[in-house]
Structure 1
């Protein structure tokens, strides 16, 4: 995988990866690569999701548990993102 992240960076390809789901203070590869945007998860209250890995290399966090994503025909749609 390291070869792919290096080659992608050299070609100007943006790579995004999940930080990991162990709740540990390190990012899994490829999220830990300097050439990849590492994304962690927050819960519906904006707090770090208990299973989301975290650390100094983390670039962004996004909702990682049930949340409202929109409404259709007066029914709330729900999505679950596993980051």
Structure 2
């Protein structure tokens, strides 16, 4: 199976799962944090998918690191 054939369904699955992740953090962090995190996850998935489809593993890695920092900042901002 080609990487492109795997990439599209994997990205679609991750896009669906971002809501499950949001539901999981809702009790502890609240709706506003959920909305912020779901938006960040959408950006992460979209950007990573585009970079990997172009064969840019280094770009995808650098982008993932930057997005991880943004997600950690959400945690810090909304942590109880």
Tell me the TM-score range normalised by the shorter chain.
under 0.3
Larger % of strand: which?
1
Bigger-Rg structure (1/2): 1
Higher RCO (Cα < 8 Å, 6 or more apart) = 2
With the length of structure 2 as denominator, give the TM-score of the two structures.
Answer: 0.21
